[in-house]
């Protein structure tokens, strides 16, 4: 069997729309940092542009083309998640550096995307924060979108027919996946 017959390609898109329920005591800017699995325990990191705390809208998207084995793609879609971090950065630099502060984070499984009939999802995600909120204060939330395209029919069928990764193997095949995220194009709409 040709080794390329077992290869698959997916096109993934992440959209960061806007944020709500954020209160500031100081000036600075907001941004969202995203992490997506890239196989072999590696992650691809994306960051939105910084916006002011008075205008909490990004309307920004990231496109990726992912290549790997069908099994690896199946594992990514059934087991993988995208991590979102809402971060704040002061306008004041210290020693030429501007560090950011984590306001909250959340994870969204790719499973929610491929299980939808349209292969996409758009929703508000609540950001979990380490700081406790006062009574009646809503936690920060970010509106996101996730979309998958490409060789999905064969992969979706394989996902529905296989067990979860930990049940079918000892992650030997999953850890050795050659999944590459390329063409990380920043798009504004």
The reply to whether 147 falls in a domain is yes
Residue 86: how many CB atoms within 10 A of its CB? Answer: 24
Range of the domain at 32: 8-130+139-188
Per-residue pLDDT of the chain (189 residues; tens, 9 = 90+): 455 567 778 888 899 999 998 876 667 889 999 998 776 677 889 999 999 877 889 999 988 887 777 777 777 778 888 999 999 888 777 776 778 889 899 999 988 887 888 889 999 999 998 776 666 778 899 999 999 886 544 444 444 444 344 444 343 333 334 343 333 333 443
Count structural domains, the chain. 1
Q: What are phi and psi of 158, to 5 degrees?
A: -65, -40
User: Which pair of tokens denotes residue 142?
Assistant: 């970010």
The reply to whether 149 falls in a domain is yes
In the block, residue with structure tokens 């542009």: 49
Which pLDDT belongs to residue 173?
A: 39
Closest among 134, 185, 14, 156 to 85, alpha carbons compared: 14
The reply to whether 125 falls in a domain is yes
The reply to whether 58 falls in a domain is yes
CA distance 58 to 39: 28
For the entire predicted model, the pTM comes to 0.74
Helix (H) / strand (E) containing 66: strand 57-69
Q: With 0-12 CB in 10 A as exposed, 13-18 as middle and 19+ as buried, what is 66? A: buried
Residue 180: how many CB atoms within 10 A of its CB? Answer: 15
For residue 101, the domain's CATH number is 2.60.40.150
The reply to whether 3 falls in a domain is no
């Amino acid at each position: 069997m040709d080794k390329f017959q077992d290869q698959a390609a997916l096109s993934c898109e992440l959209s960061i729309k806007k944020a709500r329920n954020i209160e500031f005591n100081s000036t600075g800017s907001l941004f969202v940092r995203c992490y997506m699995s890239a196989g072999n325990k590696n992650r691809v990191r994306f960051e939105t542009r910084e916006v002011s705390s008075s205008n909490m809208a990004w309307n920004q998207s990231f496109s990726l083309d992912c290549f790997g084995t069908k099994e690896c793609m199946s594992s990514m879609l059934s087991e993988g998640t995208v991590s979102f971090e809402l971060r704040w950065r002061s306008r004041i630099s210290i020693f030429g550096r501007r560090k950011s502060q984590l306001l909250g984070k959340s994870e969204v499984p790719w499973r929610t995307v491929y299980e939808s009939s349209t292969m996409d999802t758009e929703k508000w995600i609540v950001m979990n924060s380490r700081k406790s909120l006062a009574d009646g204060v809503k936690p920060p939330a970010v509106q996101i979108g996730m979309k998958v395209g490409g060789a999905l029919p064969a992969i979706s069928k394989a996902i529905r027919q296989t067990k979860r990764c930990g049940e079918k193997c000892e992650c030997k095949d999953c850890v050795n996946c050659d999944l590459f995220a390329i063409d990380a194009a920043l798009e504004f709409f």
